[in-house]
Amino acid sequence: MSQPAKVHTVEMTTSNKSRSSYKRVLLKVSGEALMGPDSFGIHQKTVERMAAEVKAGVDLGVQLCLVIGGGNIFRGLSMAENGMERAGADYMGMLATVMNALAMQNALESIGVQTRVMSAIEMTSVCEPYIRRRALRHMEKGRLVIFAAGTGNPFFTTDTGAALRAAEMGCDVLMKGTQVDGVYSDDPKINPGAERYDTLTYMDILKNDLRVMDQTAISLTRENKIPIIVFPIATEGGVAGALTGKGKFTIIKD
């Protein structure tokens, strides 16, 4: 396997490192990140901690939007592998993302962040339908938008949904919160000798199958020239650190 180039210094494009160099950002978080110490479902204290992390990003003056997976409640792909019809399983997974989005909305609004949930599957008694121009208007007014139900189509992951929404919103960067502090050559929890990368290209990810996001998502971000920042969502100050360049993360770009 060819080895990606490794760079040990990430330079910021702004001289004021107490602020973000990005104006509009999409943050992608897995549903599993909401479980906290539990093995299933939504751990309220974890959601509240994550909401505080997101608010720290908002306080930097960044227009933020958010995509949350649904794996803490239901994983469509796993159920399909166990015999469930794939399209139906994926729709159930999309509904799980709506539940997570509503939980995050509640936590964010309790600390003063104006939030709108927009779903790709229309359910007007629960949240707004996704309309691109309306989503842009919400963000321009300083509201944080949570995009739920993926792309609204089966056979696509929430990673792909996040890449698509980042492109539609004209985001400067897509941030992916993970349980580790960047991208590694192997799972560092299993292989302590795994190599960590500070900077990678999209082709490094695709050629070496580094499993940061699925290939469709990587291709979408590459085509639209949207950098990806992989950072530790469970670390205090992780969101603000990635936005200002003070934290530990991996950046993926051409």
Among the ranges given (2-11, 25-34, 129-138, 144-153), the one the predictor scored with the smallest mean pLDDT = 2-11
Model confidence at 18, pLDDT cuts 50, 70, 90, reads: low
Residue 34 CA to residue 145 CA, distance in Å, equals: 18
Q: Which amino acid is at 253?
A: K
Q: In this predicted structure, what is the pLDDT of residue 79? A: 85
Residue 217 CA to residue 219 CA, distance in Å, equals: 5
215-228: average pLDDT: 97
32-58: average pLDDT: 96
Q: In this predicted structure, what is the pLDDT of residue 44? A: 97
- 11 has pLDDT over 50: no
In Å, what is the CA distance from 168 to each residue of 26, 121, 134, 165?
Answer: 11, 17, 12, 5
232-244: average pLDDT: 94
- 245 has pLDDT over 50: yes
In Å, what is the CA distance from 157 to each residue of 139, 148, 191?
Answer: 24, 12, 27
In Å, what is the CA distance from 118 to each residue of 77, 174, 253?
Answer: 23, 18, 28
**Is-contact 149 15, C-beta < 8 A?**
no
Q: What is the pLDDT of residues 101-148, one digit of tens each?
A: 999 999 999 999 999 999 999 999 999 999 999 999 999 999 999 999
Q: In this predicted structure, what is the pLDDT of residue 20? A: 84
Residue 214 CA to residue 171 CA, distance in Å, equals: 19
Unique residue bearing structure tokens 């696509």: 156
Q: In this predicted structure, what is the pLDDT of residue 8? A: 31
Unique residue bearing structure tokens 């999309």: 94
Model confidence at 19, pLDDT cuts 50, 70, 90, reads: confident
- 78 has pLDDT over 90: no
What's the mean pLDDT when you consider all of the chain? 91
Q: What is the pLDDT of residues 87-102, one digit of tens each?
A: 999 999 999 999 999 9
Model confidence at 9, pLDDT cuts 50, 70, 90, reads: very low
* Alpha helices (H) along the chain: 44-58, 76-81, 86-109, 132-140, 158-168, 202-208, 215-223, 238-244
Model confidence at 59, pLDDT cuts 50, 70, 90, reads: very high
Query: Token digits for 147?
Result: 């995009």
Q: Which amino acid is at 94?
A: M
HSE toward the beta carbon, residue 66, CA cutoff 13 A? 33
24-252: CATH topology: Carbamate kinase (3.40.1160)
Domain ranges of the chain: 24-252
State the chain's maximal CA–CA distance in angstroms. 54
Q: In this predicted structure, what is the pLDDT of residue 3? A: 53
- 77 has pLDDT over 80: no
* Alpha helices (H) along 110-195: 132-140, 158-168
Closest CA relative to residue 210, chosen from 226, 189, 224, 196:
196
